[in-house]
């Protein structure tokens, strides 16, 4: 027996409708195509609700998802290895972007003295932990000595004595 869709107003067979026990005839009012379209619109209009729903599902089905993921990795080891390689490449690309953003490796010389040999990338968390500074080993030691001396002076002045 055919049924009329409430959205597109076309008469279609009942196989083109999802089942729904809450309705009189046991099928949704919208056909499957219209229902998918309206679901997409709703999800686009309510991203916070969709995100929250997914988060709740992951929390309540954590163990089940973990088992399914493990089972999938065991059945598809090649795909998993490929995925791991891809993830590592993404991290490497982010690392390189951070270095290029700082524009320091383009110069390929020590930032302080200008030497072009014995260069390494150093991270100074007190400056910015995501940026790297290109220095030679000698200049790096000098920077660290100055920082240690500054820390010692601060301690001697008693400013940080309550923390140490």
- The string of pLDDT tens digits covering residues 72-115 is 889 988 888 888 888 877 777 776 666 555 555 455 677 777 77
pLDDT tens, position by position, 30-71 = 999 999 999 999 999 999 999 999 999 999 999 999 999 999
- pTM over the 0.85 mark: no
Half-sphere exposure of residue 24, counting CA atoms within 13 Å on the CB side?
2
Gyration radius of the chain's alpha carbons: 30
User: SS3 letters for 110-125?
Assistant: CCCCCCCCCEEEECCC
- The pLDDT of residue 161 is 46
- The pLDDT of residue 56 is 96
Question: With contact defined as beta carbons under 8 Å apart, do 105 and 122 qualify?
Answer: no
- The pLDDT of residue 131 is 61
């Amino acid at each position: 027996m055919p049924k009329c869709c409430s959205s597109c107003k076309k008469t279609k067979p009942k196989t083109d409708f999802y089942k729904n026990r809450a309705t009189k005839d046991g099928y949704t009012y919208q056909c499957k195509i219209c229902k998918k379209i309206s679901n997409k619109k709703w999800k686009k209009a309510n991203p916070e609700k969709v995100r929250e729903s997914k988060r709740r599902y992951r929390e309540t089905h954590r163990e089940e998802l973990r088992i399914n993921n493990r089972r999938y990795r065991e059945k598809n080891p090649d795909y998993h290895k490929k995925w791991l390689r891809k993830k590592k490449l993404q991290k490497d690309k982010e690392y390189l972007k951070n270095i290029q953003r700082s524009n320091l490796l383009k110069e390929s010389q020590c930032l302080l003295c200008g030497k072009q040999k014995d260069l390494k990338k150093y991270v100074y968390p007190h400056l910015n932990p995501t940026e790297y500074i290109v220095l030679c080993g000698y200049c790096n030691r000098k920077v660290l000595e100055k920082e240690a001396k500054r820390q010692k002076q601060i301690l001697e002045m008693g400013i940080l004595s309550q923390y140490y």
